[in-house]
């Protein structure tokens, strides 16, 4: 895949979270794509596991948006420092930050993603 298209793939990943669209989010990943999420006991591998993870996260939110603050690309890998904002279903506001590192395959899909953020702190903000 041409390197200039890689940031678009990553941008779509973040956009689909804000759209709260698990199916479009999962479509950003290769069929056997893997996500290493903090707090998850094992890596999330394949579309079914990835979709279930995002459905669970989005289930706590009325709205959510993630902004790509800084994007750093090296070949087919991209590190993104992001800031997220959301409103929980209970009306509470949440802000969180982190870094996601992506490896993009030749088909332009996320093969592997490593997430570095603190889900416990985010959930504590939502629960007040």
Phi, psi of 74 (to 5 degrees): -140, 100
- pLDDT tens for residues 39-95? 888 999 999 999 999 999 999 999 999 999 999 999 999 999 999 999 999 999 999
**CA pseudo-torsion sign 108, 118, 90, 84:** negative
Instruction: Kindly state the helix (H) or strand (E) to which residue 124 belongs, with its residue range.
Output: helix 119-127
**Residue 3 predicted with pLDDT over 90:** no
6 falls in which pLDDT band (50, 70, 90)? confident
Mean pLDDT of the region 102-108: 96
pLDDT on residue 79: 97
CATH 3.20.20.80, domain 3-127, yes or no: no
Higher pLDDT, 123 or 62: 62
Mean pLDDT of the region 97-105: 97
Average pLDDT, the chain: 94
| Residue in 40, 59, 39 with CA at minimum distance from that of residue 49 | 40
pLDDT on residue 2: 56
27 falls in which pLDDT band (50, 70, 90)? very high
């Amino acid at each position: 895949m041409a390197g200039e298209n890689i940031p678009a793939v990553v941008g779509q990943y973040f956009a689909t979270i804000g759209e709260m669209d698990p199916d479009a989010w999962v479509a950003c990943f290769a069929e056997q794509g893997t996500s290493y999420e903090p707090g998850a006991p094992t890596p999330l591998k394949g579309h079914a596991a990835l979709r279930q993870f995002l459905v669970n996260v989005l289930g706590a939110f009325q709205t959510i948006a993630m902004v790509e603050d800084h994007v750093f690309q090296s070949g087919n890998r991209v590190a993104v420092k992001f800031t997220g904002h959301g409103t929980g279903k209970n009306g509470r506001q949440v802000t969180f930050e982190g870094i996601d590192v992506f490896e993009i395959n030749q088909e332009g899909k996320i093969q592997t993603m490593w997430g570095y953020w603190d889900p416990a702190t985010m959930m504590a903000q939502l629960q007040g």
